[in-house]
Structure 1
Amino acid sequence: MIFRRSCDVERQDQYIIEFDETVLNEEWMQSFKEVYYNFNTLSEHAEHIAQFRARNGTQFIEGYGVPLENGKAPSWANKEDINEAINIIDGDTRLDIYSY
């Protein structure tokens, strides 16, 4: 006998993304656009980083390196990969599971 249940999972993560605008300035943004994505605002970068974090967890992010986490460098990261100009502050996470 096989038991089967269909489950939908909804997850909502909240992150605050902080940027050091003296480092991630217009010149940096132009250089970034030439290689990676055509983002015009730091808000677009924040949305991309938050989405990456929600999908992939804590990792190196292509084009950004390894952001700080709650103001600290992750212990697993290589020092040369850490980007101190980006800080991800973890907020609330909500997980709802529906089965039918």
Structure 2
Amino acid sequence: MKRYKVEVTRVDEYVIEIDETIINQEWISEFEKFFWDVNDLKDLASHLAIVQATEGKNSGMIEGFGHITRDGELPFSCEDYDSNGVLLPEEERRKAEPGFNIKIRYEEEIDTYITELK
């Protein structure tokens, strides 16, 4: 049996937009009551980028943040449809959490490096 060590390098690039008029000290203080201490907005941007990279562009609600738009729109979700596959009325669909947007510059530029193991 042949065995291979495969190193995968992935490069994604996002622009995380945070509206400081909405995501202000009051918002952060409330967030910190339930999650973690936030040093600055970079902490939030870093977390959103990690969730985006690990869960993908169609990830649903992000705990502590709500439903975040990608490129200005909410990603597809079955939550917006009834049990028969019919799109729910607008007022019953998910709502985007104001104050955040993830601009996807590019995702999944992937390189692999393979070494045969003896």
TM-score range with shorter-chain normalisation?
0.7 to 0.9
Structure 2 Cα separation of the partners of residues 59 and 96 of structure 1: 27
Which stretch shows the higher mean deviation, 44-53 or 76-85? 76-85
Q: Percent identity?
A: 31
Structure 1 Cα separation of the partners of residues 98 and 104 of structure 2: 16
Alpha-carbon shift at residue 26 of structure 1 (Å): 0.9
Count of aligned pairs: 99
Alignment correspondent of 1:88: 102
Alignment correspondent of 1:69: 70
* Alignment check: 8 A CA contact 1:60 1:81 kept: no
Alignment correspondent of 1:37: 36
Which stretch shows the higher mean deviation, 24-33 or 55-64? 55-64
Give TM-score, length-normalised by structure 2.
0.74
Structure 2 gap segments, 5+ residues each: 81-92
* Structure number with bigger Rg: 2
Structure 1 gap segments, 5+ residues each: none
Alpha-carbon shift at residue 81 of structure 1 (Å): 5.1
Give TM-score, length-normalised by structure 1.
0.86
Structure 1 Cα separation of the partners of residues 3 and 40 of structure 2: 46
Alignment correspondent of 2:22: 23
Structure 2 Cα separation of the partners of residues 31 and 81 of structure 1: 20
Deviation per CA, 1:44-65: give whole Å up to 9, x if none. 1000110111112223210001
Alpha-carbon shift at residue 80 of structure 1 (Å): 3.9
* Secondary structure of residue in 2 paired with 1:22: coil
Structure 2 Cα separation of the partners of residues 71 and 56 of structure 1: 18
